[in-house]
Amino acid sequence: MNKILEIQGLTKYFGEQRILENLAFSLEEPKIIALVAPNGTGKTTLLNIIANIDVAESGTIQVLGQPNTNYQMFYDLSYLQDPSILYEQLTGWDHLEFVRKEQKKSKEELNELVNELGIESYLKKKVKNYSLGMKQNLLLALSLVPKPKLLLMDEPLNGLDPDSIIKVRNIMRTLNQRGVSMIISSHNLDEIEKVTEDVYFLHDGKLVEKDEVTIEAIEYIIVLKEIEKAMSFLSRINVTCRQLSEYKLQGRFTQQQMNVFHSFCEEQELTLFDCQPASGQLEKIYFNLFMKKQETQP
């Protein structure tokens, strides 16, 4: 079975500046992948290279078993780019009709998509009269016309109001349930945590998975019945924690402390109903990777 995406040995320079170095990545089953890094570190460049808009000095990319240089790839891959690709003098319908014809889709399929996204009310207007949020919604619609199996999304939540963000988030989840894979570049760390747990950081030219990043301690929310017994043990191993409700506590754990706590629960036959990192952990990992490095530079 062909992999959805396979990248091997990807290296890219801008002048003497290395952007990507021997980057490798493989996606074998439908997932929502978040791509996180500061501005100017290569997120958009990586997406552009996958879509064959930009080229690398070396490396290969396969999309569903075919080279990304094969034009047929665009029947399976879509790329939601920034609003600068839109034509100000054309209407939203003009854009959608062009892509529909290129992709050999029916008008019925396009109308169904437009209704699902709820964007029909402004499609007859010229794009120059669109707000940033309206442009983002049009870009999303354009990327979905081909019914892609792999969707690249560069800052898809940029300029959206809270209601639209929720709508796009739900669309992402629905698409993934239908077997669509997404690679999302975004600065909105809080929203990323609500969409996916599969987060990769672009760091020093390589992709680093979230779980590979070591940080000193992480806040966890834990749900179990014998909470007093658990809190007594946690105090003995120097875990700072507080009780949130009758069966829920929050504590700050190093990886070693969490391992010891799990062993204790097994030995004492304590059932953990839930044990998850608290929200906001992605921001801490981001800080650990990128901001600390800046603070230590002269």
Kindly state the percentage of the chain with pLDDT values over 70.
92
Integer Cα distance of 198 and 32 in angstroms: 7
- 137-194 residue pLDDT tens: 999 999 999 999 999 999 888 878 888 888 888 899 999 999 999 999 987 777 888 8
Integer Cα distance of 280 and 258 in angstroms: 18
Partners of 240 in the β-ladder: 252
- 221-266 residue pLDDT tens: 999 999 999 999 999 999 989 999 999 999 988 878 988 999 999 9
Integer Cα distance of 20 and 207 in angstroms: 9
Residue 288 has pLDDT above 70, yes or no: no
Read off the pLDDT of each residue in 260-276 and give the average, rounded to a whole number: 90
- 191-219 residue pLDDT tens: 888 888 889 988 888 888 876 665 567 78
Residue 252's pLDDT is what? 86
Cβ(156)–Cβ(168) under 8 Å? yes
Extract long-range pairs of 233-236: CB within 8 Å, 24+ residues apart.
233/261, 233/264, 234/261
Integer Cα distance of 230 and 264 in angstroms: 9
Largest Cα span, the chain: 69
Read off the pLDDT of each residue in 66-86 and give the average, rounded to a whole number: 92
Closest CA to 191 of 224, 164, 226, 152: 164
Distance of CA 284 to the CA centre of its chain: 17
Q: How confident is the model at residue 69 (pLDDT cuts 50, 70, 90)?
A: very high
User: What phi and psi, each to the nearest 5 degrees, are found at residue 288?
Assistant: -65, -35
Query: Based on the number of CB atoms within 10 Å of its own CB, is 90 exposed (0-12), middle (13-18) or buried (19 or more)?
Result: middle
Query: Superfamily for 5-212?
Result: P-loop containing nucleotide triphosphate hydrolases (3.40.50.300)
Residue 290 has pLDDT above 80, yes or no: no
Residue 296's pLDDT is what? 45
Query: Does 218-296 match 5-212 at the fold level?
Result: no
The number of helix segments (H) and strand segments (E) in the chain equals 10, 14
Residue 101 has pLDDT above 70, yes or no: yes
Integer Cα distance of 136 and 83 in angstroms: 7
Read off the pLDDT of each residue in 104-113 and give the average, rounded to a whole number: 96
Integer Cα distance of 262 and 268 in angstroms: 10
Residue 212's pLDDT is what? 67
Residue 295's pLDDT is what? 46
Cβ(151)–Cβ(80) under 8 Å? yes
- 21-54 residue pLDDT tens: 999 999 999 999 999 887 778 899 999 999 999 9
Q: Domain 218-296, what fold?
A: Alpha-Beta Plaits (3.30.70)
Rounded to two decimals, the pTM is 0.75
Integer Cα distance of 64 and 7 in angstroms: 11
Ranges of each domain in the chain:
5-212, 218-296
Would the CA dihedral through 168, 172, 174, 178 be positive or negative?
A: positive
Distance of CA 238 to the CA centre of its chain: 35
Question: Nearest 5°: CA angle at 149, between 146 and 151?
Answer: 80
Which residues make Cβ contacts (< 8 Å) with residue 225, sequence separation at least 6? 247, 270, 271, 273
Residue 72's pLDDT is what? 87
What does the block give as tokens for 203? Answer: 């760091």
